[in-house]
Structure 1
Amino acid sequence: MGQLLVWEWQSELFVFKQQGHFNNVASLAYSPDGQHIVTGGDDGKVKVWNTNSGLCFVTFTEHTSSVTNVTFTSSGFVIVSASLDGTVRAFDLHRYRNFRTFTSPRPAQFSSLAVDVSGELVSAGAQDSFEIFLWSMQTGRLLEVLWGHEGPVSCLCFSPVQSILASASWDRTIRLWDMMDSWQVKETLPLTSDGLSVTYRPDGQELAVATLNGEISFWNPHTATQSGSVAGRHDLQMGRKETDKITAKQSAKGKSFTSLCYSADGESILAGGQSKFVCIYNVKEQMLMKKFEISCNLSFDAMEEFLDRRKMTEFGSLALVDEGAGDGDSVNISLPGVRRGDMSSRHFKPDIRVSSLRFSPTGRSWAATTTEGLLVYSLDGSLVFDPYDLDLDVTPASIRKQLRLQDWAFAIVLAFRLNEKALKQEVLETVPHDKIRVVCGSLLDIYVEKLLGFVAACLEKSGHLQFYMTWAQSLLMLHGQKLKNRCDFNMYNIRYAVALSKQRGMKRAAEEDEGVEEEDEEELSEEMSEASVEDAEMML
């Protein structure tokens, strides 16, 4: 079932359960504060994840078919999702319930979704009837059906500053609909190929469009003029599938970006699609800044540029050989146009691809839904805020106040309770050199080990070598007995390393010189063991 179950083994108590999406993840969205991520998958589930812990805390299962798009409203407490089951549903994060269900007069499969800035208008595009439906969030009534597109509506996006809806379609146009002027078409932007994705810059002054020919074009929505374009087809670097009869270079010519997202400052744009790479471009310079490889898992298809020679036979690729033709068994080759493969096949290899991209509102991270699942990339290598025994009085201002009062020990305790690296370093380096021994003697036992670990980390990077050596010497001299357990642990590790080096040394000596006499072998092994013991003593 793809579940993670956790028990407390001594009491045999159930702790918690986690389960991801059973099939592919189709879409994601960040909450306005960046604390939560909502995802929708082909299993019909809508899941909400905590970005700090990485755990899912609520799952909505009201949809009966694949969820194609999800989004948050501006308040951050309402989630809206579109599905192929012909419904658009709104979920309340206060009571964890589905409080609105939007439907169309005729059954339609919704493939795109957008909610305006106020959270009042909900729009969804149909992939079979080429229509865009508008509902009221408060009443749940259908307000209008927008006609005009001559192909499936692939993407919708509301302007962040105006009541204007941008819609991308396979009919090679981008239409801008004015919500304040009787839902009329304000502008029609002609494209050179089918429109796959459209997104507004955070300030609403620019529009980015991804098309089927692999290009990203930038438009001014006010003047309906194109301001630039990026040819991204060469950056996709599509791998070669096992059943492809053409090279990966030729196959990449038919690939394109299917998801776009501006960075929080609007200077860069993320692009992902039918490839294992996510590209980030500088909008002003219109050049590639960096490529992220989302997976190295070779169990996915289209990962390698060249076919494995071990899978080649005299009749061609092993995947293309019709082994079961005489037995009446079906051949494990997907039909033309089928992207997701035959799920009933026992040897199904999903294609690596990126289905959705979103940048965090904080600008510190971005997330992608891929064949691997939900991936979050962050500028912060570790948790920014991981406090210990925190209360309302522990703030940076109160810590600096204690420094001004020259209460060094209390300031160190508060800094380690707040547990911010820069603040801990500031407090330690403020303590006068001649007060270090006195401060170390007045620390509680629980903070001694934390302080020693922090000093050890600073010794590797800081330029104040003698200063931090003084801290380490004072802590070890005053609290040596309390740190005995940690020293014992290090001693056992070093003993194990010594024994291992003895064993390897004897084996190496025996292999190098089999003709050496037994006395010489004993002297050699003793010398090597003595050298390893000396190295271990120096390390200790």
Structure 2
Amino acid sequence: MARCCSQPQRMAACMAGRPGVGSCCGGCTATQVGRLRCCVCPVSCHLSSSPDPGLVPAGHQRSVETVSFSPDSKQLASGGWDKRVMIWEVQSGQVLRLLVGHRDSVQSSDFSPTVNCLATGSWDSTIRIWDLRAGTPAVSHQVLEGHSGNISCLCYSASGLLASGSWDKTIHIWKPTTSSLLVQLKGHVTWVKSVAFSPDELRLVSAGYSRMVKVWDCSTGKCLETLKGVLDVAHTCAFTPDGKILVSGAADQTRRQASHTTKSPRATQT
């Protein structure tokens, strides 16, 4: 397994036939990808080599399991096996906040639409909502409990609702401002890998660690559709901005898209 080297100086050395000079390692080779000349290096080389501190922020003590950009793209949150959450300034690469409180590995994260809060999910089966407003301490002011397994995915809606998927095979939709659970979605036969709201927030799409993607009514918790065209594990899913098409990505190295016209009961009434 290999990947294209993104460092210009390393690529130049490889193209000049000197892969061991200024490049990642002596095992990289020059190749043609369409019209692009590319320096391909083993992934192990990138994993073992020291990162450029000007390009790759360092700070976590163990494996990083989740990263997420703030809606304005100015901040990046990361969490991992060291149980810590770090918030970085994207432009400078500097750490803005260190958030400590989870009792186990941090697996998922998402910023609120206003960037006032960050939600993180952990192997400790809890969701923590961190207050990021200026002048507030860097501690979680809410802990959402109810799942009985690792919180594997999180997603905010445009209005501030929060969906969480778990290894307990369920999905919860929360109203974080009141710490209340609005609805619980049951139907996946394996753990939930990805969740995403439709733009109108009437529906939620979810991908489980199985060959199916589900579409739910957010108000009733009813499963509207189960899509089984995936040939392998569905790792991710998302609606297009207009909400008419949903896309899923699977381990079979293909993507599936489906037109979605089914309306929820709420949409029918309006």
Tell me what 2:159 maps to.
203
Rounded to whole Å, the distance in 1 between the matches of 2:211 and 2:49 is 31
Aligned mates of 1:63, 1:179 — CA distance in 2: 39
Q: Is the 8 A contact 1:86 1:107 kept in 2?
A: no
Number of the residue aligned with 1:218: 173
Q: Return the offset for 1:64.
A: 4.3
Q: 1:173 aligns with which of 120, 126, 130?
A: 126
Alignment map for 1:117-196 (pairs within 5 Å): 117-126=71-80, 128-180=81-133, 181-194=136-149, 195-196=151-152
Separation in structure 1 between the aligned mates of residue 143 and residue 128 of structure 2, nearest angstrom = 5
Unpaired stretches in structure 2, ≥5 consecutive residues: 3-33, 261-270
Matched, 1:270 2:205: yes
Distance 1:368 1:88 in 2: 32
- Offset of 1:100 from its aligned partner? 3.3
Equivalence for 1:289: 224
Given the superposition, is the C-alpha separation of residues 363 and 63 from structure 1 closer, same or farther in structure 2, using an over 3 Å criterion? farther
How far does residue 360 in structure 1 lie from its aligned partner after superposition? 1.9
Give the structure with the larger strand fraction.
Answer: 2
Aligned to 2:66: 112
Q: CA deviation at 1:62?
A: 9.0
Distance in 1 (CA, whole Å) between partners of 2:87 and 2:38 is 26
Which whole-Å deviations, capped at 9, do the CAs of 1:382-414 have from their partners, x for residues lacking one?
xxxxxxxxxxxxxxxxxxxxxxxxxxxxxxxxx
Partner of 2:250: 370
Q: Does 1:379 align with 2:250?
A: no
1:245-301: per-residue Cα shift (whole Å, max 9, x none)? xxxxxxxxxx221211111211111111211111111111211111111335xxxxx
CA distance in 2, matches of 1:367, 1:145: 34
**1:379 Cα shift?**
2.6
User: 1:88, 1:149 → 2: CA distance?
Assistant: 27
**Cα distance, 1:189–1:264 mapped onto 2, change above 3 Å:** same
What is the CA–CA distance in structure 2 between the aligned matches of 1:285 and 1:227, rounded to whole Å?
A: 9
TM-score (norm 2): 0.73
CA radius of gyration, larger in: 1
Q: Is the 8 A contact 1:86 1:110 kept in 2?
A: no
Give the aligned partner of residue 347 of structure 1. Answer: none
Cα distance change on mapping 1:222 and 1:275 into 2, 3 Å: same
Identity percentage of aligned residues:
20
Structure 1: which amino acid aligns with 2:257?
Y
1:411 corresponding residue in structure 2? none
Kept in 2, the 8 Å contact 1:354–1:369? The answer is yes
Q: Is the CA contact (8 Å cut-off) linking 2:183 and 2:220 kept in structure 1?
A: no
| 1:360 alignment partner in structure 2 | 240
How far apart, in 1, do the equivalents of 2:87 and 2:40 lie? 24
1:260 alignment counterpart: 195
Please list the CA deviations of residues 314-352 of structure 1 after superposition, one character each: whole Å capped at 9, or x if unmatched. xxxxxxxxxxxxxxxxxxxxxxxxxxxxxxxxxxxxxx3
Partner Cα distance (2:49, 2:125) in 1: 25
Give the distance between the partners of 2:225 and 2:155, measured in 1 at CA.
Answer: 20
Question: SS at the partner of 1:114?
Answer: strand
SS at match of 1:177: strand
> Partners of 1:200 and 1:362 in 2: how far apart?
17
Residues 286 and 120 of structure 1: is their aligned pair in 2 closer, same or farther, counting only changes over 3 Å?
same
Shift of 1:367: 2.2
CA offsets 1:355-376 (integer angstroms, 9 cap, x no match):
1222222323222221222414
TM-aligned CA distance change 1:88 to 1:290, over 3 Å:
farther
Letter in 2 for 1:100: L
Letter in 2 for 1:110: V
Q: Does the 8 Å CA contact 1:87/1:110 hold for their aligned counterparts? A: no
For the structure 1 residues 148 and 287, does the alpha-carbon distance in structure 2 shift closer, same or farther, using more than 3 Å as the test? same
Aligned length: 225
Secondary structure of the structure 2 residue equivalent to 1:149: coil
Q: 1:85 to 1:116 in 2, by over 3 A?
A: farther
Pairwise CA distance, 1:60: 10
Task: Kindly provide the CA deviation profile for residues 196-244 of structure 1, in whole angstroms up to 9, marking residues without a partner as x.
Answer: 211111221x1111122211111111000111111123xx4xxxxxxxx
Change in CA separation of 1:59 and 1:264 when aligned onto 2, cut-off 3 Å = farther
Correspondence list, 1:91-106, <5 A: 100-104=55-59
Check 1:114–1:64 CA distance in 2 against 1; reply closer, same or farther (3 A cut): same
Deviation at 1:162, TM superposition (A): 3.5
Matched ranges for 1:219-234 at <5 A: 219-233=174-188
Whether the 8 Å CA contact 2:67–2:78 is kept in 1: the answer is yes
Q: Which has the higher helix share?
A: 1
CA-atom RMSD, angstroms?
3.3
Structure 2 distance, partners of 1:86, 1:267, is 46
C-alpha distance in 1 between matches for 2:50 and 2:205: 29
Aligned partners of 2:105, 2:166: CA distance in 1, in Å?
14
Distance (Å, rounded) in 1 between the aligned partners of 2:102 and 2:185: 25
Structure 1 unpaired stretches of 5+: 3-54, 66-82, 90-98, 237-254, 297-351, 381-540
Q: Give per-residue Cα distances to partners, 1:75-115, cap 9 Å, x unaligned.
A: xxxxxxxx9879999xxxxxxxxx832211x5421110111
Cα 1:58–1:129 change in 2 (3 A) is: farther
